[in-house]
Amino acid sequence: MTRQEALMHQTVDQELLNEPGVTSYEMKSIRADGSVHHDLNKKATFPGTDGGVGGIVGVIIDIGEQRRMEEDILKAKNLQSLGTLAGGIAHDFNNLLMAIVGNLSLAKMNSPENARLMDYLNEAERIAFLGKSLTQQLLTFSRGGNPVRTIIQPGVLVSSVAARVLRGFPVECAYDIPADILPIEADEDQIRQVVENILRNAMEAMPAGGKITIAARNVRISPEDRLPLMEEDYVRISITDEGKGILAEDIPKIFDPYYTTKGMGSEKGVGLGLAICFAIVRKHNGSISVESVQDRGSVFHINLPAYKHEISREAASTRKPARHDEGRVLLLDDEELVLEIGKELLEYLGYSVTTVQNGEEAVLLYKQAMELKSPFDAVILDLAIPGSLGGKEVMRELMRIDPDVKAIISSGYLTDPIVADYREYGFADVLTKPYDSNELDQKLKKVIGK
């Protein structure tokens, strides 16, 4: 017991002796092993033989777990409020980002051979996509963000993320990724978030620079691994840094919401990064863990279920350079900004484009095109159209007209269940705003080519 604790107890005891009765008070106490406990102290006087106060009896209750539960409930409420706020602004914010990213894509495609200008445009585009990433991370953690799964090559994905995130920092990055790494069926944007957050943690752990190693392995999980996973094949991504490491007592807490060793502030974050990683990996039926030695560095292991079905080379590929095949595209969106930039991007990529802001009109145009034997090769539908048929309803009507309709859903509502389960509604693919010209062309080529 510290001197301060003793004085506190002595003061309360003296008050009880002066005014007999019952009292209770909370205080933090330090145990012999140095651990801090949150205690509730209850004390009462009892009568003596002479009618005065015979003494004081008390009990100490450890309420640390109760306080932690109360803090967790408060954090959950804060996250729920955060999710409501993020959900409310996500659609409009991502539409604005769509216009910014689209114009940057057009500027890059029409820029003269000027390396310095291209660097500026690339950096502006990277920062714009950070806005999308921030919105998606808030939604993912606060509301769940069901994965929009596609077949991807994890080795190529982590390499591309590392190249972007580590650019300009005094960090050496080494890769240990065999050619036979199995593909995974996952939400590409969400897995990119996980890798990016871990890489940023590694960079912050090495402010003076150092080496980061990214490895990938095909592994078979067994009971001996003591992991909360099914006994099946996984792809394990390991990211190792040479930073300051993590204290042993902190390791069990690093995936907790708001846990951070970086302090608070606009440049230091709020400690959601690793908690978001945990939430995303868990939704992919995987696991994430860390090994760390103080002053020697850390290694994060991410296990994701392998996809072992037969797939085409194209299905498991990453983004390819745009090809300028012609095709007719019907673009539906309620935002004129999005329609304008979408039309320019599509025309630059070689498509003939018809834009429309009204769901009913989109259905009519599609029907007329079918009757004139000049059908659209693909349709891009915004999910939410105020005062009109939205993407889901338009798709239902289009499937009645043409069961073979090839449609892509486009949305800034990143957590809408329709986005996650787009195939169940007849859509061939999904574009989450904002997207650049490469992603737009890749999706269209895949859909039209089916």
Q: Are residues 104 and 32 in the same domain?
A: no
Is a pLDDT exceeding 80 seen at residue 312?
no
| Strand pairing category for 297-305 and 53-62 | unpaired
Cβ 143 vs Cβ 415: under 8 Å: yes
For position 169, what pLDDT does the model report?
A: 84
Closest CA to 384 of 406, 415, 353: 415
Instruction: Determine the average pLDDT of the residues in 391-402.
Output: 95
For position 85, what pLDDT does the model report?
A: 67
Is a pLDDT exceeding 90 seen at residue 56?
yes
Closest CA to 395 of 432, 359, 358: 359
Q: Are residues 271 and 411 in the same domain?
A: no
Q: Are residues 169 and 53 in the same domain?
A: no
Domain count, the chain: 3
Q: What's the one-letter identity of residue 384?
A: A
Of 273, 305, 337, the position where a domain reaches its end is 305
Q: Is 419 exposed, middle or buried (0-12, 13-18, 19+ CB in 10 A)?
A: buried
Torsion of CA 258, 92, 415, 390, to 10 degrees: 170
What phi, psi does 350 have (nearest 5°)?
105, 15
Q: Are residues 251 and 356 in the same domain?
A: no
Q: Are residues 178 and 275 in the same domain?
A: yes
Is a pLDDT exceeding 90 seen at residue 383?
no
Comparing 3-7, 78-82, 313-317, which segment has the lowest mean pLDDT? 313-317
Comparing 73-82, 89-98, 167-176, 330-339, which segment has the lowest mean pLDDT? 73-82
Is a pLDDT exceeding 60 seen at residue 319?
no
Is 311 a member of any domain? no
Q: Are residues 117 and 164 in the same domain?
A: no
Q: What is the CATH number of the domain that holds 444?
A: 3.40.50.2300
Cβ 136 vs Cβ 415: under 8 Å: no
**Length of the chain, in residues:** 450
Q: Are residues 299 and 340 in the same domain?
A: no
For position 88, what pLDDT does the model report?
A: 65
For position 70, what pLDDT does the model report?
A: 81
Q: Which domain holds residue 26?
A: 3-62
Q: Helix or strand or coil: residue 38?
A: strand
Q: What is the CATH number of the domain that holds 26?
A: 3.30.450.20
Cα-based angle 236, 161, 306 (whole degrees, multiple of 5): 30
Cβ 212 vs Cβ 172: under 8 Å: yes
Is 145 a member of any domain? no
10-54: per-residue pLDDT in tens?
999 999 999 999 999 998 887 777 677 889 999 999 998 888 889
